[in-house]
């Protein structure tokens, strides 16, 4: 037990003081981030300063604040290391040809009559393999929009299928930053978190697939022609990379590690080393090129294949390939550190416990707790427009409530993802909504009805909450162990 817990001068916060730092963050992010497009990190830090001043007013010392922040960072360090390893692996997969091969054959199977379902499925696969919804939508998604334009089909429907596929893959990929953050904020193993997501994600996936198949069949687009851009992308990828089945081994390694629940980081590193070997053996890259790819990201200027000139290729090629690397994760990590600093400061004063206890007075059943979580997630993403913050804060606020009610925290992680992660791209004022609209050339509200997977998740989450289906319970022993861990983590 540390000194502040027995300091007689420490006071309990009032509800106003407990809410003030959170309201400050909401106000700063809604004004600064949404209206003036300021970066979120300094706004969160400013909110942390307010939280720190309140902590000092309540009798805590500056060293107490630092200790609380340090404990939060220490607890989240494994997930932070995973995020860095993810960047390393994406760079390796790109140089080794693993991701390009998935993209190449995904484009190759396009059937005009099944454009929507193909766009949905291929974007899902690419997003799972890359862990980035923005990257898959901005590359493969753009290619599918070109296909749709050439077929004179409903571009809003194509955009909706692309966005839905991108976020399906992002939600279930062990490479995704939001998936890792959701597991991190609820204290759940990454692969256990992903497995539990299937209860709501698979039904949404099925519903979306049915909609896209029926729509495509009714569109009668069987005679359409695939645009030249898609052929150019495929021929360029064919020139750069040497395709063979060994390029898929890195994917199989990750899938095997996921199924068998092996330690995440060693599995990812083993997969990365295999991909790096592929890059040097089959793709002709030097060791220097491969190391540069895993550190700074793959760059088409390092390609020296016969017949390829990086200065003359269409813009879609570097947009498609230039990604990955550990440095690509630094922006996400900075947001995480800022949010963790805020969470560590307000947890010192027990502000979250006070707010949650007030909120949970109206919660008596599992269904109402799930609905409360959904409302919290929707409010956070709607006001802050930031996916990472919208995952971290509800996870921090509601984790103990789930454990005390005998519910596994992975229920919380799943519900947060259903109400924040996949809702973000269908709100016009969020960064994701603006990005998707600008990249795909379709207004957010136009593709919203077609992004079926993004808005059906909250309905399935609510149904499961009230029926009890797919709700993981804790045994008394597990509950006591998790409570002990949580109290040790938050003890001051």
Instruction: Note the pLDDT tens digit of each residue in 246-260.
Output: 999 998 888 788 677
Choose among 194, 140, 203, 200: nearest CA to 170: 194
418: CB partners within 8 A, 6+ apart: 200, 374, 377, 457, 458, 460, 461
122: CB partners within 8 A, 6+ apart: 106, 107, 109, 110, 140, 144, 165
Contact (CB, 8 A) for 425 and 133: yes
168: confidence class by pLDDT, cuts 50, 70, 90: very high
385: pLDDT strictly greater than 70: no
pLDDT of residue 151: 66
Average pLDDT rounded to a whole number, residues 437-463: 91
428: pLDDT strictly greater than 70: yes
Choose among 422, 420, 411, 417: nearest CA to 470: 411
Distance of CA 416 to the CA centre of its chain: 11
pLDDT of residue 152: 67
484: pLDDT strictly greater than 50: yes
The Cα 354–Cα 332 span in angstroms is: 29
pLDDT of residue 383: 62
Kindly list the distances between the CA atom of residue 471 and the CA atoms of 21, 40, 152, in Å, as whole numbers in the listed order: 33, 34, 44
Instruction: Note the pLDDT tens digit of each residue in 64-109.
Output: 999 988 987 887 787 788 778 888 988 999 999 988 888 888 777 7
Contact (CB, 8 A) for 413 and 186: yes
Strand partners, 407: 473
Return the minimum-mean-pLDDT range out of 129-138, 293-302, 411-420: 129-138
112: pLDDT strictly greater than 90: no
The Cα 224–Cα 151 span in angstroms is: 5
Counting residues of the chain whose pLDDT is more than 70, the rounded percentage is 93
150: confidence class by pLDDT, cuts 50, 70, 90: low
Average pLDDT, the chain: 85
pLDDT of residue 461: 95
pLDDT of residue 384: 65
480: pLDDT strictly greater than 70: yes
The Cα 32–Cα 40 span in angstroms is: 8
pLDDT of residue 38: 82
Contact (CB, 8 A) for 303 and 310: yes
Instruction: Note the pLDDT tens digit of each residue in 299-336.
Output: 999 998 887 888 888 887 887 788 788 998 887 788 77
4: confidence class by pLDDT, cuts 50, 70, 90: very low
Instruction: Note the pLDDT tens digit of each residue in 282-306.
Output: 999 999 999 999 999 999 999 988 8
Return the minimum-mean-pLDDT range out of 41-55, 387-401, 416-430: 387-401
Instruction: Note the pLDDT tens digit of each residue in 213-226.
Output: 999 888 754 445 55
């Amino acid at each position: 037990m540390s000194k502040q817990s027995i300091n007689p001068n420490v006071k309990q916060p009032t509800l106003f003081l407990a809410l003030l730092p959170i309201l400050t963050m909401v106000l700063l992010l809604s004004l600064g981030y949404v209206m003036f497009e300021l970066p979120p990190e300094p706004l969160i830090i400013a909110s942390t300063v307010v939280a720190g001043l309140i902590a000092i007013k309540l009798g805590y010392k500056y060293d107490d604040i630092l200790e609380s922040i340090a404990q939060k960072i220490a607890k989240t360090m494994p997930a932070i290391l995973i995020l860095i390893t993810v960047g390393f692996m994406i760079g390796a997969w790109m140089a080794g040809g693993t991701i390009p091969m998935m993209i190449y054959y995904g484009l190759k199977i396009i059937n005009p009559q099944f454009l929507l379902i193909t766009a949905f499925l291929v974007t899902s696969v690419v997003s799972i393999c890359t862990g980035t919804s923005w990257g898959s939508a901005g590359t493969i998604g753009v290619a599918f929009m070109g296909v749709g334009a050439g077929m004179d089909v409903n571009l809003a429907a194509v955009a909706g299928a692309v966005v839905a596929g991108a976020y399906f893959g992002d939600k279930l990929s062990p490479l995704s930053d939001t998936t890792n953050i959701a597991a991190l904020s609820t204290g759940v193993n990454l692969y256990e978190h992903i497995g539990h997501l299937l209860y709501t994600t698979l039904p949404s996936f099925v519903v979306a697939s049915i909609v896209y198949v029926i729509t495509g069949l009714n569109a009668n687009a069987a005679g359409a022609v695939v645009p030249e851009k898609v052929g150019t992308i495929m021929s360029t990828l064919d020139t750069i990379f040497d395709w063979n089945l060994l390029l898929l081994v890195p994917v199989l390694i990750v899938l095997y590690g996921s199924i068998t629940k092996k330690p995440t980081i060693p599995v990812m590193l083993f997969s990365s080393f295999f991909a790096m070997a592929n890059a040097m053996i089959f793709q002709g890259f030097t060791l220097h090129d491969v190391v540069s790819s895993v550190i700074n990201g793959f760059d088409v200027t390092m390609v020296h294949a016969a017949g390829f000139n990086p200065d003359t290729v269409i813009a879609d090629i570097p947009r498609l390939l230039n990604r990955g690397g550990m440095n690509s994760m630094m922006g996400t990590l900075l947001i995480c550190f800022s949010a963790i600093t805020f969470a560590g400061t307000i947890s010192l004063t027990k502000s979250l416990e006070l707010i949650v206890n007030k909120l949970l007075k109206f919660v008596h059943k599992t269904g109402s707790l799930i609905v409360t979580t959904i409302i919290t997630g929707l409010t956070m993403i709607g006001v802050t427009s930031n996916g990472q913050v919208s995952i971290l804060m509800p996870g921090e606020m509601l984790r103990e409530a789930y454990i005390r009610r005998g519910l596994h925290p992975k229920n919380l992680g799943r519900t947060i993802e259903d109400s924040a992660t996949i809702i973000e791209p269908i709100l016009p004022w969020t960064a994701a909504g603006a990005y998707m609209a600008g990249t795909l050339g379709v207004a957010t509200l136009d593709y919203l009805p077609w992004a079926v997977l993004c808005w059906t998740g909250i309905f399935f989450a609510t149904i499961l909450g009230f029926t009890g289906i797919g709700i993981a319970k804790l045994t008394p022993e597990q509950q006591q162990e998790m409570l002990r861990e949580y109290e040790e983590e938050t003890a001051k």
